[in-house]
Amino acid sequence: MALNPPLHPVVAEVTARIIERSRATRADYLRRMDAARDSGAGRAKLSCANWAHAFAGQTIADKLTAMDGSKPNVGVVTAYNDMLSAHQPFERFPEVIRKAVREVGATAQVAGGTPAMCDGVTQGRPGMELSLFSRDAIAMATGVALTHDAFDAAMMLGVCDKIVPGLFMGALAFGHLPVVFAPAGPMPSGIPNAEKARVRAEYAQGLVDRTTLLASEIGSYHSPGTCTFYGTANSNQMMMEIAGLH
């Protein structure tokens, strides 16, 4: 089986048009990223006052590491909230990351947070109208977090189809930095989809009450982690394919 099957002719045609239309802006972007990369490590660009300010809230050990001037500093952008199961696990990630980078003599800081909404919760509600708009807000928040220019690499903590593209778009503004995307992990399987569908059908027919329906839904969406029906990996992979970075 071919690893890279040929594109459908229509997809190939659209891709070629996009490449041609974006040629000038892409060249400008690459020039800016080259200039940013060649301007030196993030920690070396800040004045002593700015660097001290950036580490004022850190531990004494991390301050001593930062004063060395040769150790990388990793910026973490997180979409953590504990209202959505997919993002609840991120609560503990920053400390795990800090400990991991300390083991190799570096430092890590939470550079900023982004909103993360779920149209599975807002479905049928006015908040649903903010779903796609939130992607741009996430991209902007990511850019704001990294614009302190104090980082030599970054980690993006987020899941789902608005959050990951938003983080990706924001990270591209700092394309000279190595960036790692980390999901929070899947929700374990709950009740079978067929069972959930059966209860929903019975509720629609008036055969069971709201309490029974809610118990069924809670049995499906039942723990921290990405919703069982959601293909986060596919979403992330698609973004990389679109950007031509695979």
Reported as a single tens digit per residue, the pLDDT across 142-189 is 999 999 989 999 999 999 889 999 999 999 999 999 999 999 888 888
| Tens-digit pLDDT profile for residues 56-72 | 999 999 999 988 878 89
Confirm whether 124 is domain-assigned.
yes
Confirm whether 155 is domain-assigned.
yes
Confirm whether 7 is domain-assigned.
no
| Tens-digit pLDDT profile for residues 20-55 | 999 999 999 999 999 988 887 777 778 889 989 999
Burial of 175 (0-12, 13-18, 19+ CB in 10 A): middle
Where is 157: in which H helix or E strand? strand 153-157
Domain count of the fold of the chain: 1
Confirm whether 220 is domain-assigned.
no
Confirm whether 214 is domain-assigned.
no
Confirm whether 165 is domain-assigned.
yes
Confirm whether 136 is domain-assigned.
yes
Distance CA 159, CA 224 (A): 12
**What pTM did the predictor assign?**
0.81
Q: By C-alpha distance, which of 163, 170, 167 is closest to 143?
A: 170
Residue 109 is part of a domain; what is its CATH number? 3.40.50
Cβ atoms of 177 and 154 closer than 8 Å: yes
Which range marks the domain in which residue 149 is found?
39-79+87-179+232-243
Confirm whether 225 is domain-assigned.
no
